[in-house]
């Protein structure tokens, strides 16, 4: 059975991993006959958002502990991820990818990636294992794969501009499809960057995961 490593960034669209995207991806992985294994960095979130009001709170929360909610406790510290033991990588979106895994939400094209996240992602790239980035997570790709890496965040002009400014090659993509960088074995799909419903998010995620497992 093929094993897919999944890196989460917390729990909740505004300050962690997008829950619908994560669950859809995990379900699709199982339906393609593979297994998923969740990891998250053991760090504090950039901030905590009240998802009812959209306002920032004064709380401090841990990315790994929050991500464990989605994984039902079946998750490990990212430092324990050994890419040699897995066939592919997947990173769901949600603003946690741009606030906790990286600081793209704050610094844009001048963003930096958490060192443990960057180390893990680059290890998959160096071993030429396929990787999939959903929603806003592809903004990390140029910093991981270097100049010329292809990817999509959908059609948002400002985010696409930042992706290109970082050295990537952004490709516009509808919600029900994905972009494949054949050379780098790299897959991206817009998911909730464009989706207006769970079904729309699933349409692209399912296609992406099917191809990811095939590549693995």
103-130 pLDDT per residue, tens: 999 999 999 999 999 999 999 999 999 9
Letter string b/e over residues 166-193, b meaning 16 or more CB atoms within 10 A of that residue's CB: bebbbeebebbebbbbeebbbbbbbbbb
Tens digits of residue pLDDT in 45-73: 999 999 999 999 999 999 999 999 999 99
Query: What is the domain range of residue 172?
Result: 3-215
Quote the percentage of the chain above a pLDDT of 90. Answer: 100
Q: What is the CA radius of gyration of the chain?
A: 15
> What tokens does 77 get?
């510290």
Size of the chain, expressed as the number of residues it contains: 216
Joined together, the tokens standing for residue 123 give 């290890």
136 — pLDDT class (breaks 50, 70, 90): very high
Selecting among 38, 111, 121, 135, the annotated active-site residue is: 135
Which residues are 186's β-sheet partners? 131, 181
CATH number at residue 195: 3.40.50.880
Threshold 0.95, pTM exceeds: yes
Do residues 24 and 54 touch, judged by C-beta distance below 8 A? no
Per the structure, the count of domains in the chain is: 1
Residue 135 catalytic? yes
């Amino acid at each position: 059975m093929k094993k897919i490593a999944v890196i989460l960034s917390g729990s909740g669209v505004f300050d962690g991993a997008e829950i619908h995207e994560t669950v859809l991806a995990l379900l699709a992985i199982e339906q393609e006959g593979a297994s998923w294994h969740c990891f998250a960095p053991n760090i504090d979130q950039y901030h905590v958002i009240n998802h009812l009001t959209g306002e920032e709170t004064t709380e401090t929360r841990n990315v790994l502990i929050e991500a464990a909610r989605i994984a039902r406790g079946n998750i490990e510290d990212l430092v324990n991820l050994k890419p040699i033991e897995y066939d592919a990588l997947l990173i769901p979106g949600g603003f946690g990818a741009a606030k906790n895994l990286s600081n793209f939400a704050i610094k844009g094209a001048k963003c930096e990636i958490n060192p443990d996240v960057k180390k893990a992602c680059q290890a998959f790239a160096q071993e030429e294992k396929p990787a999939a980035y959903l929603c806003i997570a592809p903004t990390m790709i140029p910093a991981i794969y270097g100049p010329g890496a292809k990817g999509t965040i959908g059609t948002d002009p400002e985010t696409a501009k930042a992706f290109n400014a970082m050295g990537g090659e952004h490709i516009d993509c509808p919600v029900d499809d994905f972009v494949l960088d054949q050379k780098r074995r790299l897959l991206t799909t817009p998911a909730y960057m464009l989706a207006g419903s769970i079904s729309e998010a699933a349409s692209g995620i399912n296609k992406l995961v099917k191809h990811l497992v095939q590549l693995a």
